[in-house]
């Protein structure tokens, strides 16, 4: 059986309160998509890192993991660091199908929600 999991991958920050929206994302996901396990992962300064998050999903039985970069822009982190990390995870977990979506900032509906938020603030 193919068991899919999702990893929401963010930048990370020194201030622990920075992760609040990420924790909310994980809660929303769990409430709305309970059959697909979700895990947060961070590029730096916060844990778990990508490999740890994927390892945890694999240990729980995932055979396919989709990584969603919760970044606005495709800058150096996503163009350079992220492919290296993902490639290392593919080597580490050869039996698992790992894929990644574009950054959430590439999604028109996400951008539209930001526009609508700004419009409500006026």
- Kindly list the catalytic residues: 11
DSSP 8-state class, residue 17: G
Among 40, 41, 98, 104, binds its own copies (CB under 8 A): 104
Among 41, 86, 98, 103, binds its own copies (CB under 8 A): 103
Residue 95 in tokens: 């039996």
Integer Cα distance of 112 and 117 in angstroms: 9
Integer Cα distance of 11 and 71 in angstroms: 7
When the beta carbons of 87 and 112 are compared against its own copies, the nearer one is 112
Nearest-10 crossing angle of helices 50-59, 82-92: 30
By the criterion CB under 8 A, which residues form the site for its own copies?
4, 6, 8, 10, 13-15, 17-22, 24-25, 28-29, 32-33, 36, 66, 68, 70, 72-77, 79, 101, 103-119, 121-122
């Amino acid at each position: 059986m193919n068991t899919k999991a999702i990893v929401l991958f963010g930048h990370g920050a020194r201030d622990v309160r920075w992760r609040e929206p990420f924790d909310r994302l994980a809660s929303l996901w769990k409430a709305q998509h309970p059959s697909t396990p979700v895990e947060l992962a961070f590029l730096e300064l916060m844990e778990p890192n990508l490999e740890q998050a994927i390892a945890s999903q694999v240990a729980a039985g995932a055979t396919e993991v989709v990584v969603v970069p919760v970044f606005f822009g495709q800058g150096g982190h996503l163009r350079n660091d992220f492919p290296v990390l993902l490639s290392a995870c593919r080597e580490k977990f050869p039996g698992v199908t790992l894929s990644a979506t574009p950054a959430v900032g590439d999604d028109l509906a996400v951008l539209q929600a930001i526009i609508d938020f700004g419009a409500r603030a006026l």
